[in-house]
Amino acid sequence: MELIPVRASARTVWLFVRLQTDRGISGLGEASDAFGFANTTREDARRMESELQAFFELAQRCPGIDEYWRLASPVGHAGGVVAATACSAIEQALWDIAGQVAGVPVHSLLGGKRRDRLPVYANINRASLPRTPEGFAATARRAVAEGFRFVKAAPFDGFPGAGVAGHLDQGIACMYAIREAVGPDVDVMVDCHGFFTVPMAVEVAARLADCRLAWYEEPVAPERIAETLEIRGAIPQTMAGGEMLFGVEGFAPLCEQRAVDIIMPDVKHCGGLRELVRIAEVAEKAGITVAPHNPSGPVSTAASVQVGAVLPNFGMLELQWGEAEWRGELLEPAERFEGGSIAVPNATGFGVRLNEKLARQHPI
């Protein structure tokens, strides 16, 4: 097992995981974004490597992925976000290996693909500098010029606490600037990252009514089911959430109580590919769409594509857009988006390998 950190920007480090078998087959996973909004440090990477090693040792004792999940999921659930992410990254890499051993794409092992291309939305949040209405508007225009028809931002990041009207005003102004920049035919979403109280969430939703949002994401933490339900009942916007939850047990309350319209399991945090499929099954019974969370590197995207291809209730996939011009070249064959969508590969496993030379040029 090897952890390969890659610095994508001043704010972002991607943590790629590679498992190597004694038959010469290697599988990829990704363990990024487990350390909150702060920049991932070398100390964080060492902590992740230690967590990964523990799950890797579990995997070495298991005859298959189902047995790995049986042993690993209680540990991932109990250990918080870092453990959950490590658990998920090893699971991803095991699927990549399994597909190569079987000589089929992973989506064939998960039930077979339902679509050849996946719609993708551009998360412009980290690429928007300066974080002003003008900065967000300019970034949104560039993403739309590349063919994306859906854009999302989180202009309330850094929220300083309740009662700060100026910060709310700034975030709302950013969203209206995005809407004006992209015009009426592009969908616009906002991610609130759980910063609000219930009254604040309702107020912001009302003030954003003319922005015609495609969804209103996590005004409060998704674990706060009663508050999420209260907000959903008080606003007209579509609600989305669940980006950091783990396992079916983490998502079941949101789905069973229909607290949101869209759930956002992340293949890096929710337990991996098979568990994301199981989560989607629970959501489908409740009539809820799945839009996988994926503000990450290209390995996470490659894994998410395999899952998105098989889900009957799939909506669209997230892309952290614009952070690194060389992002696509980190994979072989290169990651490509056309018309705001990505093709589902038919090569074995995830259908990609890491461009190690380029990865090593961007150390943490």
Query: Which residues participate in catalysis according to the annotation?
Result: 193, 293
CB distance 300 to 97 below 8 Å: no
Q: Is 158 left (phi over 0), alpha (psi -120 to 50) or beta?
A: left
Question: What letter would DSSP give residue 45?
Answer: H
Helix ranges (H only) for the chain are: 42-60, 65-78, 80-102, 106-109, 133-145, 165-182, 198-207, 225-234, 247-256, 273-285, 298-308, 356-360
Residue written as tokens 């190569």? Answer: 100
Q: Tell me the one-letter amino acid at 111.
A: G
Torsion angle, CA of 181/184/190/196, rounded to 10 degrees? 100
Cα separation of 273 and 308, whole Å?
A: 10
Cα separation of 156 and 196, whole Å?
A: 10
Total residue length of the chain = 364
Q: Tell me the DSSP string of 243-255.
A: TT--HHHHHHHHH
Q: Tell me the one-letter amino acid at 244.
A: M
Cα separation of 121 and 167, whole Å?
A: 26
Structure tokens at 183: 């015009």
Cα separation of 15 and 50, whole Å?
A: 13
Q: Tell me the one-letter amino acid at 169.
A: D
Question: What letter would DSSP give residue 102?
Answer: H
